Chain A
Amino acid sequence: MLSARQRQLDRVRTFLFGSRTHYGAVFTVFLYALLIAIGFVYLYPLLFMFVTSIKSPEDLLNPMVQWVPTQIYTENYAKAYRVLNYPQTLTASVVMSVVPSALQVAVASLVGYGLARYRFPGKGLVLALVLATFIIPPQNTVIPQMLTYKQYGLLGSPLSLFLPAAFGQGFKSAIFILVFYQTFLTLPKVLEEAARLDGASDLRIFLTIALPAAVPAFIVLFVFSVVWYWNETFLTVIFLEGGVTTLPMQLSKFAQAYENLYPPGVVNIFDRLNEAIKMAGTFLNILPLLVMYFILQRWFVESIERTGIAGE
């Protein structure tokens, strides 16, 4: 029999260190402290960016003003909006990420399905080559591509990004093919076989039976593809320069574009380029992605956990 004192001690110990079913207080505090610290690492740049972007030129010069600006100064956003040529670059960015992504996901699903469902000689080789396309750095293929595009007058045209995507060679295409391959391997074959016995054609089986079953994978991969195309600057600068300007492209020459609009010799000192305006530009650049992410996030993360994007 336990004494009252013993029982009390036990209760304290369970509270502090937990039992089989509950985490103890010590662990909980430790867990939240770490989570908050790491979360801060990711939120700090965003907070910093946002706070700096609403500082007036006076606040920027005032060493007393660190995290709380004396006023909300929206003029930075008005300037960044003009410098980025926002309506135009935003539309360009949306088109240049959504269209190749749709093409890329559609073709990757076809290829992934073909690899998962059919036996044919050379399948191992194709899989190895798909992996190889993931490893080959873009600068090993980009120059001849650029010269060929130039020859056909495609340089600066949206087609220069659409064409590779339509042929399964879009940005990071290997990941998409391999995830679809994995997804179709794990889906049951029975329905498809039954449809085949009923005389359905291969393409019809793919479109009406396999595709609907893989919808979660489609959506997750599409979102990933949009994000990666949106953030891509190496290829877009080479292929689109002179034709289409996406948001990140415009951001990378922000200083130059600013001085074209507001020549430093002409405008007064408060209208010169400062970090507040640059941060406003950066924030406008990631804002569409943030909005998309916060709308989709719950759904997005959960379906990744379900589709098993890890690919084993």
Chain B
Amino acid sequence: MSVQGRTRRFELSFRAREALHGYGFIAIWVVGFLLFTLLPLVETFRYSLHRVTVTAETIQLEPLGWANYTRALFTDPTFVELLIAYSVETLVSVPIVLIFSLIIALFLNLRFRLKGFFRTVFFLPVVITSGPVIVELAAQGATSAPGIADSPAVAAVLAELPRALRNPVEYLLTSFILILWFSGVQILIYLASLQRVDKALYEAAAIDGAGAWEMFWKITLPSLTTATIVNAIFTVITLSHFSENPVTRYIYGQTYAVQGGIGYASAMAFLYFVAMAALLALIYLGLTVWARKEAR
């Protein structure tokens, strides 16, 4: 037996032991994932292919094939309409949230008096954005840009627009302030990455005679690519999981409805998941292509 052989055996057992200890740390999560996420997900998918009747003791399944899916997509007019409205609203909201939170983060990164006060105010949404509170505020008209959408001039312009364009614009006008309420965490993420940009870069650029405008496009924005992608994904997911989201509400309502039922609601939940994943992929691809073009 050579010395080399012994060390290798030691190496191997060391590796194996490290892996074992690593598994020890994550074991609780793996068990939780199987029990509380994977199993229910598979179960929901199974429900979506059946008609589900829940009695006091048992759950009865009656196979339907893909009927629940075809019904949601082709027979139920409400669901498809809500799904389209959700997609349009998400695509309109994401750029607004991104641009708005970037601007706020850039401001909060400057030096000025009363910064602490403004920072406190701007992070308020993180604390109070919850379903019932937003619903109460929206009902009192505190979330829409006051009166803009109602003014006759705007109404006239809106009426002239083609239908495909009118809905997003109308949504924008009535919910602009509501959209801003979803920007809290995104401001934080931008601010944290702004503070990690190397100050020396700006000094070097200033010596080379670059202005603030050029520095923003050539230094600041490219350093924020990762933060932008994280923020975009976070925004889509927050908007989609929001408890007052109309699609979510509709699916929840159908769970207990006589004509709907658990099977139908499960099928819609999966269709909604697919739509959300498609939106995520679209926004992710769009941003990476844009970032690559910027980098060149």
Contact = CB atoms under 8 A, between A and B. Distances in A.
B44 A141 contact: yes
Contacts of B118: 35, 39
A32 B112 CA distance: 9
A56 to B, nearest CB: 17
B125 A42 contact: yes
A15 interface: no
Most buried by B among A52, A142, A206, A279: A142
Contacts of B157: none
A67 interface: no
A214 to B, nearest CB: 14
B24 A43 contact: no
Interface in A274-312: 275, 278-279, 281-282, 285-286, 289-290, 292-294, 297-298, 301, 304-305, 308-312
Given A289-B127, A308-B196, A38 B140 contact: no
Contact of A20 (B22, B110, B128, B206): B206
Nearest to B41: A141
Interface stretch (B25-33, B73-81, B88-96, B287-295): B25-33
Interface string B198-209: 000000001000
B193 A312 contact: yes
A242 interface: no
A32 to B, nearest CB: 8
A192 B229 CA distance: 34
A310 B185 CA distance: 9
Most buried by A among B177, B180, B189, B243: B243
Interface in A97-130: 107, 110-111, 113-115, 117-121, 123, 126, 129-130
Interface string B16-42: 001111111110111111011101110
B26 A114 contact: yes
Contacts of A140: 40-41, 44, 266, 269-270, 273
A87 interface: no
A243 to B, nearest CB: 18
A181 B38 CA distance: 22
Interface in A245-292: 248, 251-252, 275, 278-279, 281-282, 285-286, 289-290, 292
Interface in B246-296: 248, 251-252, 255, 262, 265-266, 269-270, 272-273, 276-277, 280
Interface stretch (B1-9, B63-71, B129-137, B166-174): B129-137
Nearest to B265: A143
Instruction: Please classify how large the interface on chain A is, using the bins under 10, 10 to 19, 20 to 34, 35 or more.
Output: 35 or more
A207 B227 CA distance: 31
Interface residues of B, number: 87
B161 interface: no
B188 to A, nearest CB: 6
Nearest to A292: B127
B180 to A, nearest CB: 6
A14 to B, nearest CB: 16
28 contacts: A39-B118, A41-B177, A43-B121, A45-B137, A114-B26, A119-B15, A126-B30, A136-B37, A137-B241, A137-B276, A139-B248, A141-B36, A141-B37, A141-B41, A142-B40, A143-B44, A166-B32, A167-B36, A224-B126, A233-B132, A252-B131, A286-B127, A289-B128, A293-B120, A294-B120, A298-B120, A301-B123, A310-B192
Interface of B: 15, 18-26, 28-33, 35-37, 39-41, 43-44, 47, 54, 59, 104, 107, 110, 112, 116, 118-133, 135-137, 140, 142-143, 177, 180-181, 188-193, 195-196, 206, 226-227, 230, 237, 240-241, 243, 248, 251-252, 255, 262, 265-266, 269-270, 272-273, 276-277, 280
Given A45-B143, A298-B120, A310-B196, 8 more contacts: A32-B112, A111-B25, A137-B273, A142-B40, A148-B40, A164-B36, A168-B29, A293-B127
